[in-house]
Amino acid sequence: MEYILETNELTKVYGQKEAAKDVSLHIREGQIYGLIGRNGAGKTTIMRMISGLSTPTRGSYSLFGKTGAEMRKELRNVGVLIEQPGLYPRLSAYENLKIKCLAMGIKPQGYVEQLLQLIGLGETDRKKPARSYSLGMRQRLGIGLALVGDPRLIILDEPINGLDPQGIAEVRDTLTRLRKEKGITIMISSHILEELSKLADAYGVIHEGILLDEFTLEELHRRSEQYVLLRTSDNDAAALALERVGIHAAADDRGGLRVTERLEETPLMARTVVEAGIDLRELSDHSVTLEDYYLNMTGGKHNG
């Protein structure tokens, strides 16, 4: 089985609007796959179809190598957290998980306690109601609910949206642990690209319902352009001075100069600028980030 999840031209139409159009995703077992795009790009629509919560207008998908009726049986091996977790606010984490276990016929001794440890809520007061939890704790409890039944794949829609830095770090650590300790494949959507880049090892870019590209983290690194950024007191004069020693520097949109060649010759760059009587305020190495790559691909400012 090459892919644990594969979609083939998956499409969803609401009225006259194509919320997702001809989307063909490929997720391998054990990956953390980041589905990235702006709000309204179609991420949730795709996840709802894959989770069996919405019927595709056209197209198909397979789970664990199965299609049709056999695939629908495999939905039991998929855990889902889409939008807000459905919690009983007056009940504790333990009680919420216990109810889900009972509904699914799961009764092993210590099962709920193991789940609580796995999502980092093992030390939570058994009597403390979920309504008093922080947003990060509620999100981790939602992930715990998605894990009931020991799924092989979990689908998480914007699980870090609205969290403070501490909450984001806690959710990130939880997901990393799930992959490492349980071998669970994770599909996660987000528009917080800086955080997603710390977590995922494969990506799909959705823009206006269309899948623009898929790539692994290694492929992103290969495609990403490395460069040297210089900030000076006179960028035009600095560019001319560098040109005289055979180094081309172009204007950067952050008010500096970008050099994409002879990157190992930063001492020469610095010396050339200073000897030309120009103040050198910054010289730093950079590589294109996931967010840079996404913005270049979608052709516009990221609006979250």
The whole-number pLDDT of residue 300 equals 64
The answer to whether the CB of 146 falls within 8 A of the CB of 80 is: yes
Which range scores top for mean pLDDT: 187-191, 193-197, 237-241?
A: 237-241
Tokens of 162: 């609205």
Residue in 197, 123, 153, 193 with CA at minimum distance from that of residue 30: 153
The answer to whether the CB of 61 falls within 8 A of the CB of 49 is: yes
Residue in 182, 173, 120, 174 with CA at minimum distance from that of residue 151: 182
The answer to whether the CB of 245 falls within 8 A of the CB of 272 is: yes
The whole-number pLDDT of residue 252 equals 86
CATH number of 5-221: 3.40.50.300
Phi then psi dihedrals of residue 202, to 5 deg: -150, 155
Q: Amino acid identity, residue 125?
A: D
Q: Is 42 exposed, middle or buried (0-12, 13-18, 19+ CB in 10 A)?
A: buried
Please say if the pLDDT value at position 303 is more than 80: no
Stated pTM of the model: 0.79
In the chain, domain spans = 5-221, 226-287
Model pLDDT for residues 97-143, shown as the tens digit of each residue: 999 999 999 988 899 999 999 998 988 888 899 999 999 999 999 99
Q: Amino acid identity, residue 139?
A: Q
162: region left, alpha or beta (phi > 0 left; psi from -120 to 50 alpha): left
**Alpha-helical runs (H) found in the chain:** 43-50, 68-74, 93-103, 111-118, 135-147, 165-182, 193-196, 217-223, 235-244, 266-275, 290-298
How far is residue 90 CA from its own chain's centroid? Answer: 31
DSSP 153: E
Looking at CATH, the fold of the domain delimited by 226-287 is given as: Alpha-Beta Plaits (3.30.70)
Model pLDDT for residues 159-168, shown as the tens digit of each residue: 988 888 888 8
Query: How far is the C-alpha of 30 from the C-alpha of 47, rounded, in Å?
Result: 18
Stronger pLDDT, 63 or 301, i.e. the higher one: 63
Tokens 């623009």 appear where? 212
